[in-house]
Amino acid sequence: MFIGKLSKKVGISIKAIRYYEEIGLIKPAQREGKYRVYDESYIPVLEMIKLAKKLGFTLDELKEIAQSKTQQGLVPITQLRQALDKKRANVVEQIETLNQTLSDMGLLEAQVIKYNQCLVSDLPVPDSTK
């Protein structure tokens, strides 16, 4: 398939696919004249790249992992796990920060309610006999 069809199938721009090829994230495509021709094997690789980017991996990180492939073309799972563990730790830290933010929001709300109640109780009661 030509690059346009591959681009539509995986939801990655033509420019990005060319760039991934240029930096070695994907193998160079076969050529038919001046056109790149891709087989189905590119789809799962591009989908993995897309997912990894969504998870916060940079292209440099992906390139480093890709360059560590074994002679059989296998991604070294221990290296991938180490990178994923760092990402997981970062996510856990973000969750803790967000949970603290939610807690602080509740605290602020309670403080404002208490403050408002104090002000209301200090207001003079209108004289109803007038």
* Angstrom distance (rounded) from CA 18 to CA 25: 10
Domain endpoint, select from 54, 69, 84: 69
Cα–Cα dist 16/53, whole Å = 12
Could you tell me the end-to-end alpha-carbon distance of the chain, in angstroms, rounded to an integer? 90
Examine the domain organization and report whether 46 and 21 are in the same domain: yes
pLDDT in tens, 7-19: 999 999 999 999 9
- pLDDT, greater one: 127 or 86: 86
Last residue of a domain, one of 19, 41, 69: 69
Torsion angle in degrees (nearest 10) through CA of 77, 83, 88, 93 = 160
Kindly state whether residues 96 and 130 are assigned to the same domain.
yes
Same domain, 60 and 100: no
**Mean per-residue pLDDT of the chain:** 91
- Cα(21)–Cα(31) distance, rounded to whole angstroms? 13
Q: Which backbone phi and psi does 69 adopt, to 5 degrees?
A: -55, 150
Domain of 96 in residue numbering reads as 76-130
User: Domain of 25: which CATH number?
Assistant: 1.10.1660.10
Q: How confident is the model at residue 68 (pLDDT cuts 50, 70, 90)?
A: confident
Q: Are residues 13 and 32 in the same domain?
A: yes
Is there a single domain that holds both residue 6 and residue 54? Answer: yes
Claim to verify: residue 91 and residue 60 sit in the same structural domain? no
Residue 123 pLDDT greater than 90, yes or no? no
Mean local confidence (pLDDT), 95-99: 98
What domain count does the chain have?
Answer: 2
Residues 6+ apart with CB under 8 A from 45: 26
6 pLDDT higher than 70: yes
pLDDT tens digits for range 103-114: 999 999 999 999
Same domain, yes or no: 63 and 95: no
